[in-house]
Amino acid sequence: MTFVPDLHRLRAAIALRAGADSVDEAVADLSQALGIARRQTDRSLELRAARDLARLWAERGERQRALDLLAPTYGWFTEGAENPDLQEAKLLLDHL
């Protein structure tokens, strides 16, 4: 059950590739991924879901909402700066 959040993230990515009509579906999948990761207390999977949802919100012009979601999640990590997920989250935060 550990990787269920990633399955929802992948579904969201597929929905986004399907076109603009699928954005709401992608948001729902990413929100579900985020909720499951939080319930599992899996910080790494939560970071991935938060990063992807924040990126989607930022692309839709909801930069503050994206920042409010991603900044605290990113802030939990004090080690592993070389981790690709953390690096991507940091780049996104820098652009927000």
Q: Residue 34 corresponds to which tokens in the numbers above? A: 């985020």
- Residue with the bigger pLDDT between 2 and 90: it is 90
Q: Which residue has the higher pLDDT, 20 or 91?
A: 91
Interval 60-67 mean pLDDT:
96
Q: For 7-42, write each residue's pLDDT tens digit.
A: 999 999 999 998 867 899 999 999 999 999 999 999
Cβ atoms of residues 61 and 69 within 8 Å = no
In the predicted structure, residue 89 carries a pLDDT above the cut 80? yes
Would you list the domain boundaries of the chain?
4-95
Distance CA 85, CA 96 (A): 17
User: How far apart, in whole angstroms, are the C-alpha atoms of residue 45 and residue 23?
Assistant: 21
CA distance linking residue 63 with residue 83, whole number of Å: 24
Quick check: 70 and 51 in contact, CB under 8 A?
yes
* pLDDT score of 1: 57
Q: Is the pLDDT of residue 93 over 80?
A: yes
CA distance 96 to 86: 15
